[in-house]
Structures are given as C-alpha cells and as structure tokens.
A and B are shown apart, each in its own frame.
Chain A
Amino acid sequence: MSGPLTAVLEVRDLVIEFGGVRALDGVSFHARKGQVLSVIGPNGAGKTTLFNVVSGIYRANAGQVLLAGQEVAGQPPHILARRGLSRTFQNLQIFFQMSVIENVMVGRHVHEGRNLLAHLCGLRSVGRQNAATREQALRLLDRVGLAAHADRLAASMAYGALKRLEIARALAIEPLVLMLDEPAAGCNPRETAELDEIIQDIARSGITVVLVEHNIRLIMKISDHIVVLNYGRKLSEGTAAEVSCDAKVVEAYLGTVDTQAGVVSVVGA
C-alpha cells in the first residue's frame, strides 16, 4: 500500500484562524494519483475554507501543502495553476460576459504564449495560437457535453450546464489535481448522474480529484477515500464503508448515536 510518498497532493497540519476562530485546526490528509478523494462534514466544518487555503486564496497560519512533493503553501493562485492545481467554485465564478468556449479558452492561458508585442500587432503566430486554443477548448466542451453551445453567451446557459462549464475550464489547465467544490449542489438527479460519469472519467485519465460534497449518495458511489471534517478538525477517514460505520461521524451529523436504529441506513439514506 503506497503512502504519502506517492501522494500528488498532501496537506499537513493546516491551521487557519479568522479573528480568533480556528476554521482549520491541524488538518492532514493526502491524495494519490487518479484517486477520487471526498471531503465531507456538517456545514461550517471548514470544507470550503480548506479548498480556499489549498488553492491559494487564503493564507494558512501554519501547516504545509505539498503538490507533487513540492511545498506550495502561500503561493498565489495563478502560480498554483501553473503547477497543476485547479478548482471549481461553490458559487459559480463563471465569466458571464464571455462565450462558453471563451470561458474554457481562458483555461488554456497557462499553456499559451505571453508575448505582449505579438498580441498587439496581431502576428500570424497569435492567430495560430488562438486556433489551437479554440480547438482544445472545443474538445473539452465535448467531454462535458457542451460542444453544441460553444458560441453562446455564458450568461444564457442553465445552472447545471454552467457547473459543467466550470469543470471544463478547470480541466483546460491540464491539472494534476482537480478540486471540485460542491459540483452537484442544486443539480437534479439526471444532472448528478452526468456529473458522476464526468468525474469518474476524469479520475480514469489520471487526474486526482478532490471533492467537497453534501450529496452522500454520490460520495459513497465514486469516492476511493473519504475525509470527514468537523469544527475544522479531521474527524475520521477511510473508505465509504469504514466512514459510514464510524460512530463519531454519525454523531457529528445527527447529534446522538442510536445503536438500535442501525447506522448503515442512516448514512446511506
């Protein structure tokens, strides 16, 4: 069994405080290549805060974040993107005034040339770059099922489609680790099933997926490993079966442990 040594993403003793409140109090876990790791926990447990710290939006007070073995804590988000970390947002940070395909094309930014003078003069090379970027973006849209809407204004798309658009944009970076913040929030069962397929497809292609979700059924189905947070601390971790039987987890979600009720039915409902 390979441990932290082959971890693509490793978080060690992460601590962050907001005005005296420890939103994260020494959280540690790791994820391996191609793994689907889910982070769950009651509201306010610190899941999104964890994402924001790892993706460079917040600065941790203590602890380390290692991406492919390299220390990256404190780096700004755009540097992390170059290193292979990408994410989506709980509250959809889409570029609404750009078209669907342009949103994904922005995702290719880290792989594009940055010669300002060439850009100002409209050189042939820029045209070729644009064409190549557009083609790659189209392929990604196809992967999430949005190719038909490539030139539509992002603001005109449905909620579920925008969730998939964000994933396509995040994939455009060609990340090592993809962090999805509540991708199934607000999605109906059909959309959730599509999401299920997309996530598994991504993991199969070798990208490590770290997921924050409340949809327990989805979590149980696709996760290789689950980390449970509560009050900023890691409460438990393991496979779906292990975690659902953990009395501490049940107590965190429900408040009391009723040994007669049967733990499996509660969590799997």
Chain B
Amino acid sequence: MSVFESLRLSLHANGGVLALAGVMLFLPFLLTSDFHYRVIALVWIFSLAVVGLNILMGHTGVVSLGHGGFVGLGAYSVAVGPVLLGIPVWLSLLVGVLLGGFLALLIGKPLLRLKGHYLAAATLGFGILVFMLFSNEVRWTGGPDGMSVKRLNLFGWEVRGAQTWYWVGAGVLLVGAWMARNLERSPTGRALQAIHGSEVAAAITGVDVAGYKLIAFVLSALYATAAGAMMALMNGHVTPGIGDFLVSLQLLTMVVLGGMGSLLGAVVGAALLLVLPQFLTVVHDYEHAFIGLILIVCMIFLRSGIVPTLHARFRKYQ
C-alpha cells in the first residue's frame, strides 16, 4: 500500500474528527464577541459529555437520566480540592475524573444488571442523590449558593478567559472524539455495537455483555466528569445546579437529537440545544417545555437523530 493510499484511508476513517477540527479552526472568523466565544466553549464542553454518553446510550441502549451527577462530581472536585484538601487545581481535576470513573465502576456493576425502566429510574435516583449531596453539605460545598472555583494554573499559565476556553475546550473535545472514533473501529467497538444489536447473540458470540456495558458506563462517566470540571473552571463558580436533573435531561436530549451512536451528532445536538436558545430570547422560561417537546418529537419521527437520518438519506441518493 502506497503512502498515498494509506493517507486516503486514514482520512476516510477519521473524516468526522477532521471535519470537526476544521470547524473549530474556522469558526472564530464568525465570532465577534467574548460572549460568542463563551457559548461555543460551552458547546465544546457539553459535546465532550455527550460524546461519552453516546458511547453508553448509542451502543448499549442504556438510558441514563443521571449523568448530571457525574458532571456535578467533576465540577465540585475542582472546587473542593484546593479549598478542602489544599491540593493544586490540576491535581483536583485529575483526582475528580478518576473519582468519577471509580464511582461508575462501583455502582455500574449492580446498576447494569437492571433493564429498561428500572435502569432508567435507578440512574435518575443516582443523579438526584449526588445533587442532594452537593446541595445539602453546606460546610463543604457552600450549599445552594455554591462556591467559587480557583482557576486552573498549568506551569504558571492561568487558564481563563472565553477565548482561551474556546481553544482548550476544542482541544479536549478533539482528543475525546478521536478516542471515541478509535474505539468504534476496534474489537471493543464492535462488541458494543453487537450488544446494541442483540444482547443474546453478542453473548453467544463470546462478548462479555455485562463487562462491556460496564466499560461503556465508566467511559461515559469519565467524559462527563471531565466536562463538569472544565465547566467549573471556566465559570470560576459552581452551584449544585451544575449537576441537577435538568442537566441530565439536556445531555439526554443532545444525544437523542443529534443522533445515537453518531460522533458528529453529539456535537450537533449540543450545538443546537445551546445555541438555538440564544436566538430565541424568550427561551429561558420555555426551556423545559422545549426539551420535552424535542424528546417526544424525536423519538416518534426522528428516532436515529438528525445526523444519522441525514446520513441515511444521503446514502440513498448515492
């Protein structure tokens, strides 16, 4: 295989990630204020969580109504670490992410033995319990008013500012998306897709269904926790609301809207849900109704989500 051939194949395989990188590089030409940068930075950060949730939902069909809990965990880790334990912010970040993964490992095993509605309800319960913890433990977390978050300091460079976070968020998302893409094209990825297709057949074919579901769950938790940490670091402040039921719902809606199992869909979903309200100024009050309606309409008419549906239509015309 010539260098040219292998390059072409590599391009095809990583098309989505490269397209994303392209958008990230050229978008700043359209952004004119700090506020714009901040919104898009939030899109990158949310997308990271959605990519992770996609690994779980898109393949194993597990509906998680509690991933906000992991987001909250990440956010509060970077807030609480420096204050309570005196450790530097970057270490708190690392510890937080690992904590999220560890927690997922712990509760994932019994949780994933559940099916359907029971599983969804248990994840909801988990998310709310985490939220309550942050809300109630005022000594540690500042309670409902929240607490301030020290800025991330990497070798003397203080990471702050909307534009900085635009690039940091973009970079981290790119890495996360690249890893998710690699996963898709690996034996693990095939095992996950098989589980989505038919759990019984996957098991018979040698796939340890419970084990792989756990892997997907832990990965999604790691992504969500990292996103939460970045959100807190960018805002400089954190309140329990960062990990409440609404956030879990937003993440769910982004996955469903953009497309289950689709990498690009994750970003599209996040973008639509975060950017569109900016154009409809009334929206904050309408947020709940809006989300609810989208969820219903999507599941009835656009079950695969926007990106996969467009992709399928496009394929038909080739």
A contacting B, Cβ–Cβ less than 8 Å:
yes
Chain A hits for B27, CB < 8 A = none
Q: Does B21 contact A (CB under 8 A)?
A: no
Nearest B-chain residue to A96, judged by Cβ: B197
Q: Does A76 contact B (CB under 8 A)?
A: yes
Q: Are B205 and A81 in contact (CB under 8 A)?
A: yes
Chain A hits for B185, CB < 8 A = 122, 126, 130
Chain B hits for A170, CB < 8 A = 205
Query: Which stretch (B66-74, B206-214, B263-271, B272-280) binds chain A?
Result: B206-214
Q: Are B187 and A57 in contact (CB under 8 A)?
A: no
Chain B hits for A109, CB < 8 A = 187, 190-191, 194, 205-207
Q: Are B201 and A94 in contact (CB under 8 A)?
A: yes
Determine the distance from Cα of A110 to Cα of B183 in the docked complex, in whole angstroms: 17
Q: Are B206 and A78 in contact (CB under 8 A)?
A: yes
Determine the distance from Cα of A87 to Cα of B208 in the docked complex, in whole angstroms: 16
Determine the distance from Cα of A113 to Cα of B189 in the docked complex, in whole angstroms: 12
Nearest A-chain residue to B203, judged by Cβ: A77
Most chain A Cβ neighbours within 10 Å, of B179, B194, B198, B201:
B201
Minimum C-beta distance from B186 to chain A (A): 4
Q: Does A98 contact B (CB under 8 A)?
A: yes
Chain B hits for A113, CB < 8 A = 187
8 Å CB contact of A89 from B178, B201, B215: B201
Q: Does B303 contact A (CB under 8 A)?
A: no
Give B98-116 as 1s and 0s: 1 = Cβ < 8 Å from A's Cβ atoms.
0000000000000000000
8 Å CB contact of B197 from A78, A95, A120: A95
Q: Are A120 and B179 in contact (CB under 8 A)?
A: yes
Minimum C-beta distance from A156 to chain B (A): 11
Category for how many chain B residues contact A: 20 to 34
Chain B hits for A97, CB < 8 A = 193, 196-197
Q: Are B200 and A57 in contact (CB under 8 A)?
A: yes
Determine the distance from Cα of A116 to Cα of B186 in the docked complex, in whole angstroms: 9
Determine the distance from Cα of A170 to Cα of B204 in the docked complex, in whole angstroms: 9
Nearest B-chain residue to A130, judged by Cβ: B185
Query: Which stretch (A61-69, A100-108, A182-190) binds chain B?
Result: A100-108
Minimum C-beta distance from B270 to chain A (A): 21
Determine the distance from Cα of A120 to Cα of B175 in the docked complex, in whole angstroms: 10
Most chain B Cβ neighbours within 10 Å, of A122, A126, A130, A169:
A122
Determine the distance from Cα of A244 to Cα of B190 in the docked complex, in whole angstroms: 45
Q: Are A122 and B197 in contact (CB under 8 A)?
A: no
How many residue pairs, one in A and one in B, have C-beta atoms under 8 Å apart? Answer: 109
Chain A hits for B197, CB < 8 A = 94-98
Q: Does B188 contact A (CB under 8 A)?
A: yes
Q: Are A121 and B206 in contact (CB under 8 A)?
A: no
Determine the distance from Cα of A110 to Cα of B189 in the docked complex, in whole angstroms: 14
Determine the distance from Cα of A173 to Cα of B202 in the docked complex, in whole angstroms: 12
Determine the distance from Cα of A116 to Cα of B212 in the docked complex, in whole angstroms: 10
Nearest B-chain residue to A129, judged by Cβ: B187
Minimum C-beta distance from A122 to chain B (A): 3
Nearest A-chain residue to B209, judged by Cβ: A78
Q: Does A217 contact B (CB under 8 A)?
A: no
Q: Are B200 and A93 in contact (CB under 8 A)?
A: yes
Chain A hits for B209, CB < 8 A = 78
Determine the distance from Cα of A109 to Cα of B206 in the docked complex, in whole angstroms: 6
Minimum C-beta distance from A82 to chain B (A): 6
Q: Does B153 contact A (CB under 8 A)?
A: no
Most chain A Cβ neighbours within 10 Å, of B178, B179, B186, B207:
B186
Q: Are A119 and B188 in contact (CB under 8 A)?
A: yes
8 Å CB contact of B194 from A55, A57, A95: A95
Q: Does A35 contact B (CB under 8 A)?
A: no
Chain B hits for A77, CB < 8 A = 200, 203-204
Q: Are A110 and B206 in contact (CB under 8 A)?
A: yes
Determine the distance from Cα of A118 to Cα of B209 in the docked complex, in whole angstroms: 20
Q: Are A119 and B205 in contact (CB under 8 A)?
A: no
Q: Does A86 contact B (CB under 8 A)?
A: yes
Within 8 A of A (CB), among B127-185: 178-179, 181-183, 185
8 Å CB contact of B190 from A82, A102, A116: A102
Q: Are B187 and A114 in contact (CB under 8 A)?
A: yes
Q: Does A112 contact B (CB under 8 A)?
A: yes
8 Å CB contact of B205 from A116, A126, A169: A169
Determine the distance from Cα of A105 to Cα of B197 in the docked complex, in whole angstroms: 14
Determine the distance from Cα of A96 to Cα of B190 in the docked complex, in whole angstroms: 13
- Tell me whether A126 and B194 are in contact in the complex, defined as CB-CB below 8 angstroms, given that A76-B203, A78-B209, A106-B207 are known contacts: no
- Between A and B, 14 residue pairs with Cβ closer than 8 Å are A77-B200, A77-B204, A78-B205, A82-B206, A86-B205, A95-B202, A97-B193, A102-B190, A107-B205, A109-B187, A114-B188, A119-B187, A119-B188, A130-B186
Question: Which residue numbers of B lie inside 8 Å of A, CB to CB?
Answer: 178-179, 181-183, 185-191, 193-194, 196-198, 200-209, 215
Given A87-B204, A122-B179, A122-B186, output 10 extra A-B contacts at Cβ < 8 Å.
A78-B206, A78-B209, A89-B201, A95-B193, A106-B207, A109-B190, A110-B206, A119-B182, A129-B187, A133-B187
* List of 5 A-B pairs having minimum Cβ-Cβ separation, nearest first: A95-B197, A81-B206, A122-B182, A93-B201, A119-B186
